[in-house]
Amino acid sequence: MTRPKISTLLRWLGTLVGIVLFVWLLARQDWMRALAALGAIPLWALMFSLALYALSYGFNTLRWCILLWAQNVKIGYLQALKITWGGVFASNFLPSTIGGDGFRMLAVYPFTREDPQQDGKKSLAFGSVALDRLINMAAMACLIPISLTIFGAGVFSLKLFVFPPALTRLMERLAPKVAAAFQMWAARPAAFLWAFLAAWPSNLLPMAATWVLARALGMSVTYWQVVGVQTVTYFLSVLPISVNGLGVREVAYTTLYVALGASLEQASSLALLTRLLTTIITLPGAAFLNEE
């Protein structure tokens, strides 16, 4: 069996393990209480959360556009938004939460300007998406101290998952291309700053949506506790060990919120509800996916 096939098999195995663990957690809860809690969520909370998720896509697009426009790429904001949304939808079926990045690279390729160097357009397409992802991760990394403050040194045990051997090898293969991307944008340092600033609302808005839903479920958590939880689950979800972080994210969500004092019913209901809403808000991306 070839290495790509083995990687795909392991990824689906990771997805299956995560789902099995989450189903085991669901089997332990009182479903009558869980359904009662879900049924008590007001409609405005659901709609407001969906709006926050959608708005975060707008800032994700802006962050990427800042990098593209710095290289004089002739692409409009709305077109970039369609590509971004299509990529998020594609992530529902691809490895980890970064699976849609490959779609973005392919979709933006026709918009990249001609480059006198060989493979210049490919480098620009790859570089813009790679830097966009790294800048977003840098912004999320700034929130790690919040997670450490809330959960203590025990959160360091997650480092074994953050840098598995397979991910290390992937980073080593991509390092030269990422370095080349940094060189392409080195003459435009302002683009890094503005993109980094745009990364903050793109990350904090979904966390606000989760906090609204958590409070609607009767959970006594603060916004900063939600930030702490989602920072941990973010770095777990970007690992290519399951499809769109499925199962892995839900288990981490449930475990961490229970540690903060939520009931198993509340924590698992929040995990299910946020997964459902974040999937629903990606559906317009299916139409945009077909346009590309």
pLDDT at 172: 64
150: domain range? Answer: 3-291
Residue with more model confidence, 113 or 103: 103
229-242 pLDDT, tens digit each: 999 888 877 665 44
Mean pLDDT of 89-109: 77
The count of structural domains within the chain is: 1
Question: 164 versus 220: which is more confidently predicted?
Answer: 220
Quote the pTM value: 0.80
Q: Between the ranges 101-105, 162-166, 236-240, 247-251, where is the mean pLDDT highest? A: 101-105
Residue 49 — pLDDT band, cuts 50, 70, 90?
very high
For 198-251, the pLDDT digits (tens) are 999 999 999 999 999 999 999 999 999 999 999 988 887 766 544 445 567 778
Query: Residue 112: which pLDDT band, with cuts at 50, 70 and 90?
Result: confident
* pLDDT of amino acid 76: 94
Measured between alpha carbons, how far is 53 from 48 in angstroms, rounded to an integer? 9
Mean pLDDT of the chain, nearest integer: 79
Distance CA 194, CA 182 (A): 15
